[in-house]
Amino acid sequence: MQRALRIGFTLGELAEVLKARDAGGAPCRRVYQLAQEKLKGIEADIEALKLTRRYVQKVLADWEQRSQSAGPGQPSHLLYSLSDSVKNSGITANQFRRKKKP
């Protein structure tokens, strides 16, 4: 049970499978289908994280440049630059997160 939870099965999904098993069914196909869905979700999360990593790398490069351009003791406005870079990139704030199922 703990391993199923660890790979992403919800308690509701496990209850569904166990109920089918207890009723004499063999819910193996359903378990397999659910596990495939979990893998797709993990792969989507990985892609979203890769996108986020690339974005943060660009932000850090910009911040490095801003920090070097600012004089000693002068503000670089790093956090303010985030809103500008998002506006100019066409990226939405939620683009870096995987969409939840309805």
The answer to whether 20 touches 34, Cβ cutoff 8 Å, is: no
Whole-structure pTM over 0.75, yes or no? no
Query: pLDDT per position in the chain (102 positions), as tens?
Result: 899 999 999 999 999 999 999 999 999 999 999 999 999 999 999 999 999 999 999 999 999 999 989 888 888 889 888 886 656 665 555 555 555 554
Burial class for 34, CB neighbours closer than 10 Å (0-12, 13-18, 19+): buried
Which residues contact residue 22 at a Cβ distance below 8 angstroms, ignoring those fewer than 6 apart?
none
Q: What gap in Å lies between CA 54 and CA 58, rounded to an integer?
A: 6
Region of 20 on the Ramachandran plot (φ > 0 left; ψ -120 to 50 alpha; else beta):
alpha
> What are the sequence ranges of the domains in the chain?
2-96
What angle is formed at CA 23 by the lines to CA 20 and CA 25, rounded to 5 degrees?
A: 55
